[in-house]
Structure 1
């Protein structure tokens, strides 16, 4: 439930089990003001976000800070809001499990480009959840984050210091810290064996499925240079299937898409996430036009980019 649409970039709901509650409360108590800064995840050491795919999500939802000693349960990624998103109800008896004594941590990320560098904006975004007691038949949900690199060079005819890849990564690191800044190279290692892919508008990553699961829905997230995002199952084979297809991505109209019918995935299957970005949008989008040309890599800022397929799944026995 966004409070100030002008500055709301995204909100993520994390659930932490009772074993992590003390660490979260301690971290909150010792941090001045309301809440605490978290460039990624919960921002509480020892209460890190558990990701249930091959990748370790970084940047927007991934890094971690803090010095507390927490439990060993980890945080579950429960829900995501981005501009345009509304409530999505699945047509199945399924949900995210919350144990008694669990805590909800709400990460709110703001679009500071919209303020033109001025202060004074306020926000009262909130979270509303539907709760049910569940039954032995209720399917427990998980979030799989499927990430691909962003390796977008400056547009033809543009040049500047940040058009160099290493300089751009150093700039992201200065703004958001080493975990976020290092994620561009982590993705290169995971997706192409450490070889930086040919810079260009379209990049992809193949992720191996490691456990049997049912896929119910998908949510594609990019920033303001995003043009298209797709998630495919077993591409290039006779079993190929498209799970998520957003051919005309709109930053202001992001939402979860339910699959027409749930899809079963098995160990040995491959999930491919593909994103297309447009460097030319820097000079066309008002909020980006004041920024200098840059080689765009993964980063937290609205002026940076991401390629993120957020899949809602339920693990099952093989």
Structure 2
């Protein structure tokens, strides 16, 4: 009888080994007990647990960033088209400096497309010595087009931030390290001049520091507010002027209406232009009822407001 019980125990133990779920049933109570024990220890030690009292490291915001320098706008001298076909040594030397600074990192110093910056690019940078596969072509004007516009969906970005002279000089230098490139023709130069106005020069916009621009905008904003107040004061002091009653009836926000008109020249072409301007600017400060004004009343209102602007400019 005892042998039978021992055999049953042995069989049951083997079944446990064969069934992982039964193993979980055996260790589950021990797991719960361990979890409760750890929790009790944690609760007991809560009074000695401290938060990190180290102050955060804040970024230094006292660093002085150099602002833009003022530049007066001008019209640059146009390109001498003769130099496109016959560049000077100075142009080629400058082109080399620009090429090394902007192009060599991807295209390589000798134009083989083996620069370190092009290793991860797909498609790979252009090898100037290969005549096939140029997206825009490898003529002088086509290379200039690539520098001007870049090539979408590639690592070749636009270099229009460089001056026209600089881009031309880069191409002049490229031709010295890549004699395989075709020469530039007279008709090609003529077409480039018509397309890019090379000989006409270009306008260089004025540039002011950001700090100066902020001050200027603040001054203009203050000036606009002063002008609005001046006109509103004029309206209050002159209730007998023609158009006064119409304006007070049709303006839902007089300050907003005057401010909107001061900021634009579009409406000053006549009564119809004025009406169209107000209708298309829903936040103009006027009621929609302005569309119901008679032609005569609209004309009176327009003349009245035009006069207010002139008063503002002369007072």
Give the alignment's TM-score, normalised by structure 2.
Answer: 0.17
Higher-Rg member (1/2): 2
Q: Indicate the structure whose relative CO is greater, using CA pairs within 8 Å and at least 6 residues apart.
A: 1
User: Which structure dedicates a bigger proportion of its chain to helix?
Assistant: 2
